[in-house]
Amino acid sequence: MNAELGYFRIATAVPIVRIADCKHNAREIIAEIRKAVNLQADMIVFPQLSISSASCGDLFYQQTLLTAAKSALEYIINETETLAIVSVVGLPLFVKGKLYNCSAVICQGRVLGIVPLNTPLKQFSVYTSPHETRQIMLNAETLTFFDTDLIFEIENGLFSFCFGDFQKNTAADLIINQLFIPSLPRTEIDLYRNVKAISQNIGKAFLYVNAGWGESSTDMVCAGEAGIFEAGECLASGSGFNNEKFLMRETGGFVMADIDMQILAHKKIKAAEQRQAVSTVVPIPPMQAKTDMRNLFRPVNDEPFIPIELKESRKQADLFYNRMLILAAQGLAKRLTHIGCTRMLLGISGGLDSSLALLIAAKAADLIKASRSDIFAITMPGFGTTERTKNNAVELAAILQCTVEEISIADSVLQHFKDIGQDPKKHDITYENAQARERTQILMDKANQVNGLVIGPGDLSELALGWTTYNGDHMSMYGVNSSIPKTLLRSIIENCKDNPQEFTSGKDKQGFTDILTDILNTPVSPELLPPQNGVISQKTEHIVGPYRLHDFFLYNVIMHGFGPKKLLFLAEQSFIKEGKNEYTREEILSWLFVFFKRFFSQQYKRSCIPDGPQVSDISLSPRAGLHMPSDSSWNLWKEELENLSK
């Protein structure tokens, strides 16, 4: 710190943690603290629960973990007692019968204070804190400063900081927000814009730091977003996307800036004293109800999973889709490194889902520095497979330098039909599902054979509709597409097609683009029924309905809680209004019936889906996404739909 010139140097660090490995995490934290000292930082801040990792779930209730976390904090304190730096680390603490998510402020061998964070961990079970002060014993001394609203002062009030969200009303100069939130493609830019605006509005300094790649990828991925702001100016920011070594998991994230304490002091002096105004309530006469809403004066996005601004900016679209791909690949890479495995197995069909899963697997292999030949791309032709889809699948895998194998399922499925007494000429649900389950069995057994991980290609739209064979394509060891709906998935592949240099080089680039173009033009089909004259006969959207509509319904039901009446109205605004007669009202209503009926009846499939990262706005995971009983009734929604049909 330079008191004369008024600068206070502060850093954030996002170590590559191991879940519940407090000793390892403590060593990583100490290394980052020493790095900050070498750079003459006055303070360093780590993400929430950085000692234990934030994604321990119910392990937080285990005494072994709680004891280890406390011991690790004491180890950090002892190892940094000669270093002149304030360090902020996170850990779970069990105090007088309650479990707290805490930030510990330490400096030169002392604990200055511990703050139980008010921000809840929605996904996991660490309690938030009431406003209370307690005494706790830590590192052989009684610590009295244990409170939610502590303000830490430096140099007799020259500079002060506290913890909380960015709307907190406080006298402190700096507000610190340690995060543990899922990273989505827009998370970094949304944090940047929001904090910049708030910082400018109230003239204070703000710091945020999110957890990073080391956290669990069971249902989400954290990218280590961090930012330091001063009265509306971003002094420094970063994430796992724009740091090559962090992206490749070689090192953690690190951001540092010099805060000007004199600027903040000047802002504080000039700020007018805030007085709470006394409001007078003035009644307004009853408003006339508006019954004609045919012209809605607000935009309605007909592809709500894709932000409207992406359609106007190629640069923003490239960034958005690339980040989504990287997040999915990072989730897969975390799972592979955790189990000590580099081999992946995918059933490739030449369709959209398996093609994107293959692209994600290729990215994950690159991230963990594995050979793409460790990706086993297996085509398993059956009774409905066409040459077009099979050739596209094989050629794409070859361009990506995967190991390609062909294993026909025809003989094994016919033997299975014989075993269970199924007539092969009877093309019913048994005929279809037996093929899907045989493919899954092959992949699972092959994975055991080569010591690999089965990658699931099923997407969010299929999960919402239950358009997946239970314990067939429904099951895998990690589902990379599970939060990506079909409309968004198609756009991601379009973007990959236009950026072949991200996946291949030389003469293969044109071949890569041509294959993805044909895959995009191929009708969506499970290819379980025999083709007609070599052409796909079974088209999914003719059976369950257009994915453009179903994704539109899904987004507005989950994100906004809209019911059938409003969904129908918004769909009419999107697909019929202004000469855009993409669907009729009757068609929209009929597919809305299908959506709600299947959404409710197929929940049992979603109740046992594999792990997979959330990379879009919606997850239907029963662990961290949609919490819905498998035996819920849809009668209320059905009645509303029936009334709309009258």
Structural domains in the chain plus CATH codes:
7-284 (3.60.110.10), 308-645 (3.40.50.620)
pLDDT band at 585 (very low <50, low <70, confident <90, very high): very high
Helices (H), 296-428: 314-339, 352-367, 387-399, 410-420
pLDDT tens per residue, range 157-198: 678 888 877 665 677 889 999 999 999 999 999 999 999 999
Under the banding of pLDDT at 50, 70 and 90, the label for residue 260 is: very high
Are the CB atoms for 217 and 477 separated by under 8 Å? no
184 in Cβ contact with 155 (< 8 Å):
no
Q: What is 573-590 written as a DSSP string? A: HHHTSTT--SS-HHHHHH
Tell me the residue ranges of DSSP E strands in 375-510.
Answer: 375-379, 403-406, 452-456, 478-479
Q: Tens digits of per-residue pLDDT, 232-243?
A: 999 999 999 887
Long-range contacts of 120-124 (CB under 8 A, 24+ apart): 121/48, 121/54, 121/180, 123/55, 123/57, 123/219, 123/220, 123/623, 123/624, 124/54, 124/55, 124/56, 124/57, 124/58, 124/60
SS3 content of the chain, % helix, strand, coil (to 5): 40, 15, 40
How many CB atoms within 10 Å of residue 254? Answer: 23
Least confident of 315-319, 389-393, 503-507, 522-526: 503-507
The two tokens of residue 101 are 């998510």
> Which pTM value belongs to this model?
0.91
Q: How many angstroms from the chain centroid is the CA of residue 167?
A: 24
398 burial level (CB within 10 Å; 0-12, 13-18, 19+)? middle
Rounded Cα distance, 576 and 563, in Å: 19
CB–CB of 109/78 below 8 Å? yes
SS3 113: strand
Closest C-alpha among 395, 350, 394, 403 to residue 372: 403
**pLDDT tens column, 442-470:** 999 999 999 999 999 999 999 999 999 99
